[in-house]
Amino acid sequence: MKKILLLIFVITASVVLAQDLPSEPRDGYAFPLGSKFRIKLYPVDSVSFNYSIVKFERTDKIVEIWDNDSLFEKEGEKGTIDFFFGLGTNGKTEEERIKNKKVLLLIKNRSKYSLSYTSDIQREENGEFTKTSNVGSHSGLKAIEMWPYMIYQIGLKEFKKMK
């Protein structure tokens, strides 16, 4: 099953990068490290959502972990969620900044829904995806996920209204 999911995520990620936006609404997509993107939710039923990718750009920017408000537009499109999946750091000296480098997923939820979702990470290049925990995404708020190890891709799927 994991190999099938991996294959689906890899194919989806390559299709996303090659197609025109917005993408077709689906249950999930995978994104490579160094991605900044915006999704739009489409209700499937009273609880679940598919989403399409309405904006995508590659970035090698390393952001400040705790001071990153300028990363997202102040007034984004309502009903969308902005993501940054890349590297972040903090510290006063270059040595501290190198030591404190982490993989981040920053989320700015502009939808009216607080959401839970499933996130799968790929820790080895061309490796399998494994499920990881997340904090969800609350309406109108920014959230941050951090990992102290390398992640090559993240798959985001199964968006649902929080109970």
Chain segment 56-97, per-residue pLDDT in tens: 999 999 999 999 989 998 888 889 999 999 999 999 999 999
Residue in this structure with the two tokens 């936006």, named with its chain if needed: 21
Q: Is the pLDDT of residue 157 over 80?
A: yes
Q: Looking at residue 75, what is its pLDDT? A: 83
Local confidence band at 156 (pLDDT 50, 70, 90 cut-offs): very high
Q: Is the pLDDT of residue 113 over 90?
A: yes
- Write down the pTM of the prediction: 0.86
Local structure of residue 105 (DSSP, 8 states): E
Q: Is the pLDDT of residue 16 over 90?
A: no
Residue in this structure with the two tokens 């099938």, named with its chain if needed: 4
Beta-carbon contacts of 23 under 8 Å, excluding residues fewer than 6 positions away, are 16, 29, 52, 53
Local confidence band at 32 (pLDDT 50, 70, 90 cut-offs): very high
CA dihedral (18, 24, 26, 31) in degrees, to 10, reads 30
The CA distance from 12 to 98, in Å, is: 32
Local confidence band at 141 (pLDDT 50, 70, 90 cut-offs): very high
The size of the chain, in residues, is: 163
Q: Is the pLDDT of residue 9 over 70?
A: no
Give the residue among 160, 132, 158 at the shortest CA–CA distance from 146.
132
